[in-house]
A and B are shown apart, each in its own frame.
Chain A
Amino acid sequence: MNYLASIGAYAIMVREVFKKPTKWRIMRALILKEIDELIYGSLGILIFISFFIGGVVAIQTALNITSELIPKYLVGFATRQSIILEFAPTFCSIIMAGKVGSYITSSIGTMRVTEQIDALEVMGVNALNYLVFPKIIALLLYPFIIAIAMYVGIFGGWFAGVFGGFSTSADFVTGVQLDFIPFHITYAFIKTLVFAFILATIPSFHGFYMKGGALEVGKASTTSFVWTSVVIIIINYVLTQLMLG
């Protein structure tokens, strides 16, 4: 029953976010600030993780090819497919649920605890539009960092494959180019956009409606990470079934 009430409250929150917009001059500054915090601030960690995960995927694929009948270019092919279809959009979003989601919940939660949200509401400001809308707009740029993560992941695979002696550069590049289906990129970006909305709204929901003090802010961040990850995984399954199934 509580879960149903929370889903209802979340839907009402999302509707409120788009009501009574804040002045554009102020909103523009808020959006730029959020792009800096949420997108630019996450670039480093995603590039770092993508490079090494790409490398690990390439090595593990190569080590599992034991038969001489399986061509070596499969390393590049498997790396590309894993990175584009799952690692970059889904795995990166789980990492973002930890990094960006916790930041969003704790920053909004702290504003709730210190009555800053009450102060906004007393002034007649739509606090949800002021706090959450810029995050949603900033995260529309999320597919750009996922595109970078895809590129870096495949490069990491090439690097580990070639310099680890698991594949030749030519084989790897052949594998990367083999049977390329452009719709897979579309699928990945559609998933990414849906995940971006989840990443902006679920942590905001947990921060905005939290009750209590500093300890509860920490608990809300953890709960928010768990629920954001769960929803991303479920939506990932649903979208995959709908678009590729």
Chain B
Amino acid sequence: MIEVKDIYKSFGDAHVLKGVSATFEKGKTNLIIGQSGSGKTVFLKCLLGLFTPEEGTIAYDGKIYDELSGDEKRNLRQEMGMVFQGSALFDSMTVEGNVMFPMEMFTKQSRPEMQDRVDFVLRRVNLVDAHHKFPSEISGGMQKRVAIARAIVMNPKYLFCDEPNSGLDPKTAILIDNLIQEITEEYDITTVINTHDMNSVMEIGKKIVFLKNGLKEWEGTNKEIFKTDNKAVTDFVYSSELFKKGSPDVYRGKELEARSLKNEKSS
């Protein structure tokens, strides 16, 4: 579980986070949503330790990050997996090399042991024939799977995903969402996903934190989001691709489900 208490982060005169508090639960897919510029990415980077908040605390299973020693921070980093928006695969390495990289860096396992683990995680993300391909030789969806495989290869306690399905077609996006949810539940990971995709919200939003202008505007689940009276949230929800005319068929079921939840609330 990750507990964030009242964090502030500024860049010069730009106050990006203005006292955000939230709790991200274990074994659940926790979503951070909000419009562009709402502070989602900065918030995620604070959780990752890439940015240091000026005020407030972040506790990982009770351990407050700022109170840890350098070695403890490094050990904690090794318990985190991250799926970047653009996958961030090392383009000089093959798929296998990318997935094996954290193990080579931080474990003393033998080559066959590492190979077994790489084969296992690549099978887990449904990639079986791509071991020796370079990132530039595979599709965007496959790159995301490799990034997920690399993120889970060290059995992380915390998994962070920044816009995991941006740039993917709707069907592949749903596959990636489901894969992240399955992995979260299977390995009991605290997963935090940064997204503005309402389809993801519908699919895997077990816990949702809505940010607006650097503040937490709303918090709830994917069922509750369609029943809220918060105008900022409803504006965000109903301006999404999911509810636009001519949106892909794959969204149709989700749209009807959302509308029925909304009707359920009004009746």
Residues of A at the B interface (CB closer than 8 Å) are 20, 22-23, 25-26, 114-116, 118-119, 121-125
A122 near B105 with CB under 8 A, answer no
B176 within 8 A of A: no
Contacts A23-B105, A119-B88 known; 8 new A-B pairs at CB < 8 A: A23-B104, A114-B91, A115-B86, A116-B88, A116-B91, A118-B82, A124-B75, A124-B106
B105 near A119 with CB under 8 A, answer no
A115 near B105 with CB under 8 A, answer no
B84 near A119 with CB under 8 A, answer yes
A-B contact pairs, 17 of them (CB 8 A): A26-B105, A114-B86, A115-B85, A115-B88, A116-B89, A116-B91, A118-B50, A118-B82, A118-B88, A119-B88, A119-B90, A121-B50, A122-B82, A122-B160, A123-B78, A123-B101, A123-B105
Give min CB distance, B100 to chain A, whole Å: 11
Interchain Cβ contacts within 8 Å, total number: 46
B198 within 8 A of A: no
Name the CB-closest residue of B to A23.
B105
Best-buried of B78, B84, B88, B90 by chain A (most CB within 10 Å): B88
B237 within 8 A of A: no
Name the CB-closest residue of A to B102.
A123
Given contacts A23-B105, A124-B106, contact A118 B78 (CB under 8 A): no
Q: How far is the CA of A108 from the CA of B68 in the complex (A)?
A: 30
Name the CB-closest residue of B to A25.
B104
B84 near A118 with CB under 8 A, answer yes
Q: How far is the CA of A231 from the CA of B89 in the complex (A)?
A: 34
Q: Which residues of A contact B245 (CB under 8 A)?
A: none
Q: Which residues of A contact B88 (CB under 8 A)?
A: 114-116, 118-119
Q: How far is the CA of A123 from the CA of B91 in the complex (A)?
A: 17
Q: Which residues of B contact A118 (CB under 8 A)?
A: 50, 82, 84, 88
Mask of B133-160 contacts with A, CB within 8 angstroms, 1/0: 0000000000000000000000000001
B80 within 8 A of A: yes
Q: Which residues of A contact B106 (CB under 8 A)?
A: 123-124
Q: How large is the interface on B (under 10, 10 to 19, 20 to 34, 35 or more residues)?
A: 20 to 34
Give min CB distance, A64 to chain B, whole Å: 50
Residues of B at the A interface (CB closer than 8 Å) are 48-50, 74-75, 77-78, 80, 82, 84-86, 88-91, 101-102, 104-106, 160
Give min CB distance, A31 to chain B, whole Å: 15
Q: Which residues of B contact A26 (CB under 8 A)?
A: 104-105
Name the CB-closest residue of B to A125.
B105
Best-buried of A25, A116, A122 by chain B (most CB within 10 Å): A122
B48 near A122 with CB under 8 A, answer yes
Name the CB-closest residue of A to B82.
A122
Give min CB distance, B9 to chain A, whole Å: 16
A119 near B78 with CB under 8 A, answer no
Q: How far is the CA of A141 from the CA of B157 in the complex (A)?
A: 43
Q: How far is the CA of A26 from the CA of B77 in the complex (A)?
A: 20
Given contacts A114-B88, A116-B88, A118-B50, contact A124 B74 (CB under 8 A): yes
Give min CB distance, B145 to chain A, whole Å: 16
Give min CB distance, A103 to chain B, whole Å: 13
A123 near B77 with CB under 8 A, answer yes
Q: Which residues of A contact B102 (CB under 8 A)?
A: 123
User: Which of A116, A121, A122 meets B90, CB within 8 Å?
Assistant: A116
Name the CB-closest residue of B to A123.
B102
A122 near B104 with CB under 8 A, answer no
User: Which of B78, B84, B91 meets A124, CB within 8 Å?
Assistant: B78
Q: Which residues of B contact A22 (CB under 8 A)?
A: 105
Q: How far is the CA of A26 from the CA of B80 in the complex (A)?
A: 22
User: Which of A23, A25, A122 meets B50, CB within 8 Å?
Assistant: A122
Q: How far is the CA of A119 from the CA of B80 in the complex (A)?
A: 11
Q: Which residues of B contact A119 (CB under 8 A)?
A: 82, 84, 88, 90
Q: Which residues of B contact A121 (CB under 8 A)?
A: 50
Name the CB-closest residue of A to B75.
A124
Name the CB-closest residue of B to A126.
B74
Give min CB distance, B112 to chain A, whole Å: 16
B90 near A124 with CB under 8 A, answer no
Q: Which residues of A contact B74 (CB under 8 A)?
A: 20, 124
Q: How far is the CA of A114 from the CA of B135 in the complex (A)?
A: 12
Q: Which residues of B contact A114 (CB under 8 A)?
A: 86, 88, 91
Q: How far is the CA of A22 from the CA of B104 in the complex (A)?
A: 10
Q: Which residues of B contact A116 (CB under 8 A)?
A: 88-91
Q: Which residues of A contact B85 (CB under 8 A)?
A: 115
